[in-house]
Amino acid sequence: GAVDADKAIEYRQGVFNAMKWHFGPMVGMIKGKIDYDAADFERRAKLIAALAQMPQEGFAEGTDAGDTDAKEEIWENKEKFDQGMKMMVEKSAALAEVAKSGDMAKIKPAFGALGKTCKGCHDNFREE
Ligand code: ASC
């Protein structure tokens, strides 16, 4: 049967909120506002890489209306949106891999690349 829009919106927002929960302390470590803890950073990077695989299915057809900042453009340009989701999956996997090294010179650009994939979809597909 059809996906319940309210449930789908709650689902995808829950996933993004969980990603944000982990992303925040990582930003702090990258910026030097929190002491860098390699094991904790790696743990969070792995969780984000897992979570990144989850939101896409929450944007099923018919889940555009409700308490959401998701723009109609998502469903009008679903291929472009799905490509952005794929980039998020790939860049988060790359970050989780490089996080094992504990080498900030490698981690910073990988983290920046992931952040760009967040921002790319927000600019195109999310209400301000
Ligand atoms: C965050 C957050 C995002 C990303 C994005 C990175 O902390 O909530 O969506 O970082 O701003 O460009």
CA of 119 to the centre of ligand 1 (A): 7
Q: Which atom of ligand 1 is nearest to the CA of 27?
A: 7
Q: Which atom of ligand 1 is nearest to the CA of 20?
A: 8
CA of 72 to the centre of ligand 1 (A): 21
Q: Which atom of ligand 1 is nearest to the CA of 23?
A: 7
Domain map (residue ranges) of the chain: 5-125
User: Is domain 5-125 in CATH 1.20.120.330, yes or no?
Assistant: no
- pLDDT per residue as tens digits for the range 79-118: 999 999 999 999 999 999 999 999 999 999 999 999 999 9
Long-range contacts of range 2-6, CB-CB < 8 Å, 24 or more positions apart? Answer: 2/62, 3/60, 3/61, 3/62, 3/63, 5/62, 5/63, 5/64, 5/65, 5/66, 6/66, 6/67
CA of 23 to the centre of ligand 1 (A): 7
- pLDDT per residue as tens digits for the range 3-62: 899 999 999 999 999 999 999 999 999 999 999 999 999 999 999 999 999 999 999 999
Any ligand 1 atom below 6 A from CB of 118 = yes
ipTM: 0.91
Give the pLDDT confidence score for residue 1 in this predicted structure. 55
